[in-house]
Amino acid sequence: MNINTERSNTGDDCVASSVVPKNYQHILALTFAVQEINDNPHILPNLTLGFHIYDSYFTAKWTYQVTLLLICTAGRLVPNYKCNLKQHLIAVIGGLDSQTSLQFLFGSAPVMNDKTPGLSFYNMTPKESLQYAGILTLLLHFGWTWIGTVVMDNDNGERFLQMVVPLFSESGVCFSFIEKIPELALGRDMKDMLQKGAKMRDKIVDSTANVLVANGESYSMAFFRWFPYLSEREYVENSIGKVIIVTAQVELTSFVYQRNWNTDFFHGALSFTIQSSDVPGFQEFLNAQNPSNPKGNGFLRSFWQGAFSCVFPDSLLGKVVGNICTGDEKLEYLPATFFEMSLTGHSYNVYNAVHAVAHALHAMSSSGLKNRGMVTRGGLPFQIQAQWQVILDSLMWERTTAQPLSVCSESCNPGSRKKVKEGEPFCCYDCIPCPIGMISDMNYCCPCGYEKYPSKHQDFCIPKSVNFFSYEETLGIILTFFIILSCLITALVLGMFWKHHETPIVKANNRHLTYSLLVSLLLCFLCALLFIGRPHQVTCLLRQTAFGFIFSVAVSCVLTKTVMVVLAFRATKPGCKMRKWMGKTLTNTFLLSCCLLQAAICLAWLATSPPFPDSDMHSAAEEIILECNEGSIMMFYCALGYLGFLAMVSFMVAFLARKLPDSFNEAKFITFSMLVFCSVWLSFVPSYLSTKGKYLVTVEIFSILASSSGLLVCIFFPKCYIILLRPELNKKEHLIRRTA
């Protein structure tokens, strides 16, 4: 842009034809802005802005010559030599592509580093990082984590990848493919480009990614328009079946030869674009363009012929082949790929760039910079810095409602975790079920902890309920009923024997041992109640120790009875010296000696490692079982083993004495009772070890009831039968069995 003392023509010195007709709007935006400023007496009075337009032909190499022209007198390629003070260069507005935007920019910023000195530029677009963050937000909103991307094979494309790949990867988005488009340049082999494009198109179609992020230069859309027609296969579908997201630098443009190409390929695409605004007077300025009188506009006829596919008559050429341009064609009838009546984001940046230069010069000439960061147009303030917008195609609403998926692997079901496939991106994974007792958070399997358990689908933890073997549950009620019934029966038997204590059958075999045995059996039944209900410190201390000691008393009574029967029989033989030892003293001594050893074991147990209330977190998946911990399992089995020892000795002695000639010989009944007792407690050990949870105590309660009932039934029911139903047998003459 240069300052002239007179208004300059808008492009008489540059008569290049536009390859892309849509770019003509940028020229008109530049022209309109310069005209608007020159017509405003409040901006740069006594000065006139003029401009020169140079075409880069889509390559940065052509800008080298332009750079020399900018620092030379117009029309003379003599560097650093100026003889025309009316054309003084004061600013450069860069092109649409970053490689030609080196000083004052309205397109992408060039790649900068510390080794790039002396550059003074102002970027008319917001930071590209904000646009990429917006694309990422869009992807995450729809759950598109498996995408492909297409970039230009240049520095701008590399910069895009360097910024986007790590940013997207950190948020869980990964790439199925990354394709690079060869740069468009004059003289490039089009056949080679189309062959590469065909391979690229087929690879994109074959990919499982349903979202394509496209980044490129302003002309890249013309390359994308080849996609429906490129393939190495015989049958080609028009659509590639992908959601296309286009960055702001890519404009919806067409070359002239693409005029009649179908645009259905881009329906449903999303485009990030630079925010624009309606500029008063611009529509009227467009409608005023007249190709029949193109004074001061050397681009208009070239644009008109390319856009409307017609030719203006030329007397020098003679007959014209093709459609004749009448000049009455309407710009609003052109497709959007060729021309838009509303100001596009890129054209709006051109317009703002011109105003920024003018207002900066005006501020400098006024020796003050007011409203820093803001410029005014016609006295109204406006913000130069633009914002990003997302422009959705009119068909995109229908497409997004269907919510297309674009993931490498489906989300893992609850209760399973991800396992990344070897050699694949992290978005591609297999789903492995979590072990029992663990929940999944998509990436890992985690235990719930002791006080919680996994839900049915193993996706969250549920607090465990506290439980114990109580009186309220069905089994507890049944066992409590049998315990009370057994206690009542034992008490009735004891009362019956107490009532008939003078009868021969009660006196036989030491009635004091009989009473002791019945009382100990009654207490055995009652101690089973200690195993039902919520465990407490006292009940835990008494459960096993009381059971062990009381049962030892009962078995010791049985053993003493058996031993006394054997000793009594031998003492009746003539000349036996044992008779003098028979009596209560021997009975009590033998009974106490058997009981005291078990008492010593229980006291040692309580002194060293007593039982205590505990909770079982593992036996039941959904419950915390309150129980009594034995403290020392060794002491528990010592007490149980001693009971087994007494029972086995009693069984063997009773078995040997079962045929002694006594009408009321208890040995055979004791043999059966000890057989039941030993069978119950031998089966108790494996059952106790294999049972878990609150039903562990039911095994012990059942063993107590079964063994105690066995002693009661086998020893006392025959005597009760005689007392109640056969009283004629309860006489002294029947005490001695006569033998031959």
Q: Are 185 and 193 in contact (CB under 8 A)?
A: no
Amino acid at 632: S
Whole-angstrom CA distances from 655 to 175, 673, 674, 713 are 87, 11, 10, 18
Q: Sheet with 388-392: list strands edge to edge.
A: 174-181, 146-152, 211-214, 243-246, 270-274, 388-392
Q: Are 512 and 695 in contact (CB under 8 A)?
A: no
Q: Is 363 exposed, middle or buried (0-12, 13-18, 19+ CB in 10 A)?
A: middle
Tokens read off for 624:
């915390």
Beta strand 174-181 pairing with 146-152:
parallel
Query: Quick check: 372 pLDDT over 50?
Result: no
Distance separating alpha carbons of residues 381 and 369, to the nearest angstrom: 14
Q: What are phi and psi of 501, to 5 degrees?
A: -70, -15
Tokens read off for 328:
């009455």
Confidence of residue 277 (pLDDT cuts 50, 70, 90): confident
User: C-alpha 376: how far from its chain's center?
Assistant: 51
Q: What are residue 243's DSSP bridge partners?
A: 211
Distance separating alpha carbons of residues 558 and 509, to the nearest angstrom: 11
Measured from the Cβ of residue 283, the count of other Cβ atoms closer than 10 Å reads 15
What pLDDT is recorded for position 233? 82
Bigger pLDDT: 385 vs 694: 694
Q: Are 205 and 241 in contact (CB under 8 A)?
A: yes
pLDDT digits (tens, 9 = 90+) for 643-675: 889 888 888 888 877 666 654 567 778 888 888
Q: What are phi and psi of 553, to 5 degrees?
A: -65, -45
Question: Among the listed ranges 149-153, 349-353, 369-373, 556-560, which one has the minimum average pLDDT value?
Answer: 369-373
Place of tokens 């007077």: 281
DSSP string of 85-131, one letter each residue: TTSEE---B--SSGGG-SSEESSPPPP--TT-TT---EESSPPHHHH
Bigger pLDDT: 75 vs 545: 545
Q: Is 491 exposed, middle or buried (0-12, 13-18, 19+ CB in 10 A)?
A: middle
Query: Quick check: 522 pLDDT over 90?
Result: yes
Beta strand 146-152 pairing with 88-89:
unpaired
pLDDT digits (tens, 9 = 90+) for 278-293: 899 999 999 888 888 7
Residues 6+ apart with CB under 8 A from 438: 445, 446, 447, 448, 454, 458
Query: Quick check: 214 pLDDT over 90?
Result: yes
Q: Are 4 and 50 in contact (CB under 8 A)?
A: yes
Average pLDDT of the segment spanning 202-208: 90
Q: What are phi and psi of 391, to 5 degrees?
A: -100, 120
Q: Which of 89-93, 190-194, 696-700 has the highest mean pLDDT?
A: 696-700
* Radius of gyration of the chain, Cα coordinates, nearest whole angstrom: 53
Distance separating alpha carbons of residues 53 and 46, to the nearest angstrom: 24
User: C-alpha 332: how far from its chain's center?
Assistant: 51
Place of tokens 């940028």: 26
Query: Quick check: 485 pLDDT over 90?
Result: yes
Give pTM, 2 decimals: 0.64
Average pLDDT of the segment spanning 533-557: 89
Measured from the Cβ of residue 262, the count of other Cβ atoms closer than 10 Å reads 11
Tokens read off for 11:
């492009």
Tokens read off for 26:
């940028």
Distance separating alpha carbons of residues 581 and 577, to the nearest angstrom: 8
Distance separating alpha carbons of residues 593 and 596, to the nearest angstrom: 5
pLDDT digits (tens, 9 = 90+) for 6-65: 333 333 333 333 358 888 899 999 999 999 999 998 888 888 888 888 777 666 666 767
Can you tell me whether residue 213 is helix, strand or coil? strand
Query: Quick check: 395 pLDDT over 50?
Result: no
Mean pLDDT rounded to a whole number for the chain: 80
DSSP state of 324: B
Query: Quick check: 175 pLDDT over 60?
Result: yes
Confidence of residue 740 (pLDDT cuts 50, 70, 90): very low
Average pLDDT of the segment spanning 714-740: 72
Residue of 94, 88, 83 lying closest to 50 (CA atoms): 88
What pLDDT is recorded for position 109? 47
Q: Is 618 exposed, middle or buried (0-12, 13-18, 19+ CB in 10 A)?
A: exposed
Task: Please calculate the CA angle 350-351-356 and round it to the nearest 5 degrees.
Answer: 95
Question: Among the listed ranges 117-131, 190-204, 275-289, 377-391, which one has the minimum average pLDDT value?
Answer: 377-391
Measured from the Cβ of residue 582, the count of other Cβ atoms closer than 10 Å reads 16
Beta strand 2-4 pairing with 48-50:
antiparallel
Q: Is 453 exposed, middle or buried (0-12, 13-18, 19+ CB in 10 A)?
A: buried
What pLDDT is recorded for position 397? 39
Q: Helix axis angle, 584-608 relative to 537-571, nearest 10°? A: 150
Tokens read off for 52:
């020169």
Can you tell me whether residue 427 is helix, strand or coil? coil
Tokens read off for 38:
């020159």
What pLDDT is recorded for position 12? 33
Confidence of residue 71 (pLDDT cuts 50, 70, 90): low
Measured from the Cβ of residue 585, the count of other Cβ atoms closer than 10 Å reads 9
Can you tell me whether residue 454 is helix, strand or coil? strand
pLDDT digits (tens, 9 = 90+) for 313-333: 876 666 777 788 888 889 988
Amino acid at 394: S
Q: Are 702 and 710 in contact (CB under 8 A)?
A: no
Average pLDDT of the segment spanning 605-630: 87
Give, for 543, the enclosing helix (H) or strand (E).
helix 537-571
Average pLDDT of the segment spanning 416-445: 86
- Per DSSP (E only), the strands in 451-510 are 452-454, 461-463, 465-467
Average pLDDT of the segment spanning 100-118: 49
Confidence of residue 583 (pLDDT cuts 50, 70, 90): low
